[in-house]
Amino acid sequence: MPKLTEIRWHARAGQGAVTAAKVVAETALSADQFMQAMPEYGPERMGAPIKAFTRICDEPIEIHNNIEFPDIVVVLDESLLDIVDVTEGMKADGTLIINTCSPAAAVKQALGVAEAQRVACVDASGIALDTIKRDIPNTPIVGAMIEVTGVIDMESFKGLLAKNLGKKFGQEMIDANFAAVDRAAQEVTVA
Amino acid sequence: MLQQKTVASTGNSLVAEAMRQCAPDVMAAYPITPQTTIVEEYAKFVADGRVHTEYVTVESEHSAMSACVGASAAGARVMTATCSQGLAFMWEQLYIAAGLRLPIVMANANRALAAPINIHCDHSDVMGCRDSGWLILFAETAQEAYDNTIMATRIAEHPDVLLPVMTCLDGFITTHSIDRAQVMDDETVKGFVGEYRATNMLLDTDNPVSHGNFAGLGGTYFEFKKQHRQAMNGALKVVKEVGAEFAELSGRPFGVIEGWGMEDAETAIVCIGSTAGNARHVARELRAKGEKVGVLKVRCFRPFPAADIAAALKRLKAVAVLDRSESFGEGGPLFLEVRSALYDLETRVPLVNYIYGLGGADVRLELIERVFSDLSDIAAGNAAPGALQYLGTR
């Protein structure tokens, strides 16, 4: 059977979820995997709740529907937990990764997810403010996701990050993003 | 084997890239979601000097197609892109482009027509102009959208065709999703499409011609239309030939219809566009359980490959035709064509028609499973084929 991993991203428009969905897919391609990345389009306005999707597979992906039963759910904005059912359809052994200062055990209990479902928490916004100097939590939260799930290769991800950032910014910005990724990977807690 | 570059790209980016490689002399376009990024990226190619196209920004789609008609009649290679309300606004010019036998290539990012307003995937826009005399190709994936654009250029300009070609890709699903695809180098595409040498061009002042003259009562209108029909019928052979040549070059198979599991299938789904992938995915799972199911994708809708479809379906015990648009007649547009194609067979193939996915309604795998389950009941004689059904409405 082909090994298919499906990721659903929840964010507010402007937080970089669509970019993250894309960069993760591109990283998978660099390892000769098959991939898809797609945003769910609706009215476009900054701050509105949005979803994006990434599929990664070792064989060609033929399906084009929305992801209903994600293996991994990434939440870039904690305030969405009150208004969106982020765990909807999450696989029985799925992993939820949230941008929050709260400890993973407390968040897991509050969400009431099953014991076998993992909840990983990281202060991606805080890390982004410290390193990149802006609240763009997408890069650090991907670092945490890689640490917790191993869905893509960390060095390949950093390589692509450097390449993409290098087109617009200097080495300083690349270093800041690397620091954000490394710190998130170290600081993420899992329950 | 030809070296190709593997990329992560959206369907729209790949269409823009294919158009750049085909290097039209003129593009006249007006942006509309979800087509916008095609013409946006193409405008950037022009601004960056990567292609020597005269890019005409116009105030509407009606003007876009009018400019395309003028430029094509003048003798230029011409391309554009649109969808939905934009395609509807082009309406009368679509007939003029086809009637003047102008080989314009246009991408259409399939989107629903208002009302109610909706920007998502639906085939109502293109199906509405299926009688306009354009060739119509559909893509399942971003890769096919790229490939179809290149093939369309050769097909449209073929001396036996000389008709405009619409290359359709599913709005958002294919236009905006990033997918893995292979692209050829510029020289290979340039060599494949060749240089366009227009015949009967307006700007050839040594051989003056006029286009679109009055052909009223006692004129040649009737004969013009018969020739148009002959060209459309003849185009099927050209589509197959160009497709075979492209397949040889790219290593990617092309068929006017493309079947999966059809050799020994007892039941099958016939569909168009991205849904074919979902259907094949479910069919694979059912095959693993021993069910003889198949999927038939229609990649060329105009000309309609009726004989190919009849040959592919004639032995089946039950067939479902999935339409992503309404016609408000006796079924969706694809259903009407497929049923007509099967009428002259000696055996009657039980058919059922589903209208699905309108306005971008998600084509969940469970819906495809339900269709195969219905087909199994019909094949076993436990259910009757017949009435049109809406698949997955609340």
Judge whether B324 and B123 are in contact, CB under 8 Å. yes
Task: Identify the pLDDT of residue B251.
Answer: 97
Return the residue of B nearest to A38 by Cα. B177
> How far apart are the CA of A56 and the nearest CA of chain B, in angstroms?
10
Task: Identify the pLDDT of residue A65.
Answer: 92
Cα B17 to Cα A29, B12, B147, B265, distances in angstroms: 20, 9, 11, 38
Residue B311's φ and ψ, nearest 5 degrees, are: -65, -35
Q: Which residues from chain B sit within 8 angstroms of residue A63, using beta carbons?
A: 277-278, 281, 365
Q: Is the pLDDT of residue A138 over 70?
A: yes
What is the Cα–Cα distance from B277 to B291, expressed in whole angstroms?
A: 18
Which token pair is A141?
A: 């939260």
- Work out the average pLDDT over B143-148: 98
How do beta strands B54-57 and B26-29 pair?
parallel
How much is the mean pLDDT over chain B? 97
**R_g of chain B computed on alpha carbons:** 21
A167 in contact with chain B, both atoms CB, cutoff 8 A: no
B253 in contact with chain A, both atoms CB, cutoff 8 A: no
Task: Identify the pLDDT of residue A165.
Answer: 92
Return the residue of B nearest to A68 by Cα. B364
State pLDDT tens for residues B256-305.
999 999 999 999 999 999 999 999 999 999 999 999 999 999 999 999 99
Return the residue of B nearest to A54 by Cα. B178
| φ/ψ bin of A121: left (φ > 0), alpha (ψ from -120 to 50), beta (otherwise) | beta
The full set of domains in chain A, from first to last, is: 4-190 (3.40.920.10)
The full set of domains in chain B, from first to last, is: 5-250 (3.40.50.970), 257-391 (3.40.50.920)
Judge whether A76 and A16 are in contact, CB under 8 Å. yes
B363 in contact with chain A, both atoms CB, cutoff 8 A: yes
Residues 6+ apart with CB under 8 A from B273: B110, B121, B123, B138, B139, B140, B168, B169, B170, B173, B174, B324
> How far apart are the CA of B29 and the nearest CA of chain A, in angstroms?
23
Judge whether B174 and A64 are in contact, CB under 8 Å. yes
Buried b (16+ CB within 10 A) or exposed e, A17-27: bbbbbbbbbbb
Stated as kind and residue range, the H or E segment containing B41 is helix B36-47
Q: Predicted confidence band at B337 (pLDDT cuts at 50, 70, 90)? A: very high
* Chain-centroid distance, C-alpha B342: 22
Using the Cα atoms of residue B72, residue B14, residue A138 and residue A99 in order, give the sign of their dihedral: positive
- Work out the average pLDDT over B12-18: 98
Using CB atoms, which residue from A34, A41, A64 is nearest to B278?
Answer: A64
Return the residue of B nearest to A62 by Cα. B277
The answer to whether the peptide bond before residue B115 is cis (omega within 30 degrees of 0) is yes
How do beta strands B105-110 and B135-138 pair?
unpaired
State pLDDT tens for residues B49-66.
999 999 999 999 999 999
Sheet of B293-298: strand order equals B257-260, B293-298, B267-271, B318-323, B351-356, B386-391
Task: Identify the pLDDT of residue A84.
Answer: 94
Task: Identify the pLDDT of residue A43.
Answer: 66
What is the Cα–Cα distance from A159 to A161, expressed in whole angstroms?
A: 5
> How far apart are the CA of A32 and the nearest CA of chain B, in angstroms?
9
Q: Predicted confidence band at B320 (pLDDT cuts at 50, 70, 90)? A: very high
Helix axes B333-342, B306-313, angle to 10 degrees: 70
Q: Predicted confidence band at B387 (pLDDT cuts at 50, 70, 90)? A: confident
**A23, A63, A160, best to mutate vs chain B, most B CBs in 10 Å:** A63
Yes or no, beta carbons of A64 and B275 under 8 Å apart: yes
B6 in contact with chain A, both atoms CB, cutoff 8 A: yes
State pLDDT tens for residues B163-180.
999 999 999 999 999 999
Q: Which residues from chain A sit within 8 angstroms of residue B8, using beta carbons?
A: 22, 25-26, 29, 35, 37
To which residue do tokens 């202060």 refer?
Answer: A123
- Work out the average pLDDT over B33-46: 98
Using CB atoms, which residue from A25, A41, A65 is nearest to B178?
Answer: A25
Residues 6+ apart with CB under 8 A from A137: A15, A16, A76, A77, A99, A124, A125, A127, A128
Q: Predicted confidence band at A1 (pLDDT cuts at 50, 70, 90)? A: confident
In one-letter notation, the amino acid at residue A98 is I
* Chain-centroid distance, C-alpha B358: 17
Q: Predicted confidence band at B87 (pLDDT cuts at 50, 70, 90)? A: very high
Task: Identify the pLDDT of residue A62.
Answer: 96
> How far apart are the CA of A94 and the nearest CA of chain B, in angstroms?
20
Q: Is the pLDDT of residue B366 over 70?
A: yes
Q: What's chain B's length in residues?
A: 394
Using CB atoms, which residue from B34, B177, B362 is nearest to A36?
Answer: B177
Residues 3-62 of A with CB under 8 A from B: 22, 25-26, 29, 34-39, 41, 60, 62
Q: Which residues from chain B sit within 8 angstroms of residue A60, using beta carbons?
A: 180
What is the Cα–Cα distance from A119 to A117, expressed in whole angstroms?
A: 7
Yes or no, beta carbons of B177 and A38 under 8 Å apart: yes
Using CB atoms, which residue from A34, A38, A62 is nearest to B176?
Answer: A38
Q: Which residues from chain A sit within 8 angstroms of residue B177, using beta carbons?
A: 36-38, 64
> What interface predicted TM-score (ipTM) does this complex get?
0.92
